[in-house]
Amino acid sequence: GGSYSVCDGQYVSTLIQIKDFSFFLGLYSDISPQLESWKGERRRALNFILYASLSLSLFTLIVIGLNREKNRVRAHIMEELEQKVEERTAELNSALREIKRMARLDPLTGVLNRRGMIKILEQEMARTRRYGGTFALAMCDIDYFKRINDTLGHTEGDGALCFVVDRIGGLLRNTDSLSRWGGEEFLILFSQIDQARALAAAEKLRRSFEENPWRPDYTVTCSFGVATLGEGEDYNDLIRRADEALFRAKESRNAVGE
């Protein structure tokens, strides 16, 4: 015995051989409803897979797009932040340079203050020790400055200080330096110069005040003490000797001492 099934289109033929008999029993079954049901389920499954794939692809594209936009926005924000940081850093550096510059300048006259001149003296000492040569200092004091404040007022006294700075500054070389040392005293550095030439330069400054009055009714004069760097000295020794030379010049005023 045995059985055999053959599918022909929408029909299934089943042949059953009866044992010990020489004939077959044929059974036919109509499977079209099952096929239609299976096809429908298959279509639904395929549609589901298609929709799921499309949805996943769309979701993936959206995620990729959002990530790209997020990265673009982040890069733009970072670029703006970096630009702002650079701008703020530049402003800060500029402000720091201005603070350092102002810390070395006298606020009234605009020339170097004591701190600024000491820095210049340190540089001049280092240059002299390395390359040789010498330099000189001239301590300058406005004669009878207290009289100007007492008779004309402190505002006019400030004007006299600025006048002295403008007069001296206009006659110095580019390599020389001028500072307000304190009150009505000024310290002048003559770079690469000997004593004789330094005395001549101080005398030229002294005469310029006589020849160019501060005001038609008031002439400001100055006294100078000059000292040139000696062997084994530092700038503190030189300042002290220039101050001593100024003291001798102040005995007669409107003079140059050494």
The catalytic residues are 184
Query: Cα–Cα distance between 39 and 17 in angstroms, integer?
Result: 32
**Pairing, β 24-30 against β 177-182:** unpaired
CB 136 within 8 A of CB 225: no
CB 212 within 8 A of CB 218: no
- Scanning the structure block, which residue is given the tokens 């340190």? 122
H or E element in which residue 128 lies: helix 114-131
| DSSP element (H, E) containing 75 | helix 32-103
DSSP string, 33-48: HHHHHHHHHHHHHHHH
How far is Cα 248 from Cα 245, in angstroms, rounded to an integer? 5
Rounded distance between C-alpha atoms, residue 256 and residue 200, angstroms: 9
